[in-house]
Homo-oligomer: A and B are copies of this chain.
Amino acid sequence: MSSPLQIGLLVFPRVTQLDFTGPLQVFSAVPGAKLHLIWKRIEPVPSDSILTLTPTTTFADCPQLDVICVPGGGGTDDLVNDTEALDFLREQAEGAKYVTSVCTGSLVLGAAGLLRGYRAATHWSAMEFLRQFGATPTKTRVCVDRNRITGGGVTAGIDFALTLVSILVDRTMAEAIQLRLEYNPAPPFSSGSPETAPAEVLALVKERIAPNQVRRIEAVGRAAARVI
């Protein structure tokens, strides 16, 4: 592993910002780690909310990473067919120690051909799309399959990042970061997964994301046709 540890997170238009701000907070607490926020150009990128994100390096200037991480969000529907971004991921993946994602970032890894024959996690609403990239959908908060480490939806990025730190450094470091971030979660409701959410809440959310699903079916279908 290079010294310092080089950890890069992709930022892109309409990224779900918590997909990467959660892991970023964890990784930033690793002494000596060098963090990179990567996009095509260094100019503010709109996230899914009012937060704009400023990349710190470009595809062209980014050093070889030890860890490449792709967060998720609505913007992944464009990324899965963005050959410039997919080429960058493939090149980095060749030299990286760990190829990782949070939420629907795993669909982008899949579209880059990087999950064929691997188990992978993603957001609960996107599970079945993984199969189109030759991956095996896995319903866990964090899925470790050889050097592919993928997290579930959005907030799973925190569990993912702590797991990765325990692998990259050691368990004590991960526990120390967990304590600093007071990650002792106590959700006020038990609606965090389709299995535990009230039926009417699940129906409401499915209805609300239905238009996105239509777009995703088209985008993933096109991407998968190119990969497989």
B158 touches A155 (CB 8 A): yes
Is A3 an interface residue, CB under 8 A from the partner? no
Say how far A18's CB is from chain B's closest CB, in angstroms: 4
B198 touches A175 (CB 8 A): yes
From known contacts A182-B155, A188-B159, A191-B176, infer whether A35 and B18 are also in contact, taking CB-CB under 8 Å. Answer: no
Interface residues contributed by chain A, number (CB under 8 Å): 66
Binary CB contact string for chain A from 175 to 200 against chain B (1 if under 8 A, 0 otherwise): 11011111111111101111011101
Stretch from A48-56, A93-101, A129-137 that touches the partner:
A48-56
Binary CB contact string for chain A from 22 to 37 against chain B (1 if under 8 A, 0 otherwise): 1011001000000111
Is A169 an interface residue, CB under 8 A from the partner? no
The CA-CA distance from A123 to B182 in the complex, in Å, is 7
Say how far A203's CB is from chain B's closest CB, in angstroms: 10
The CA-CA distance from A141 to B193 in the complex, in Å, is 21
A179 touches B201 (CB 8 A): yes
Is A80 an interface residue, CB under 8 A from the partner? no
Report which of B37, B56, B176, B184 forms a contact with A204, defined as CB distance below 8 A.
B176
Is A79 an interface residue, CB under 8 A from the partner? no
Is A152 an interface residue, CB under 8 A from the partner? yes
Chain B residues with Cβ below 8 Å from A35 are 49-50
B189 touches A201 (CB 8 A): no
List the 7 shortest-distance A-B pairs measured between CB atoms, nearest first.
A153-B182, A184-B192, A175-B191, A28-B49, A21-B21, A18-B25, A185-B185
A185 touches B201 (CB 8 A): no
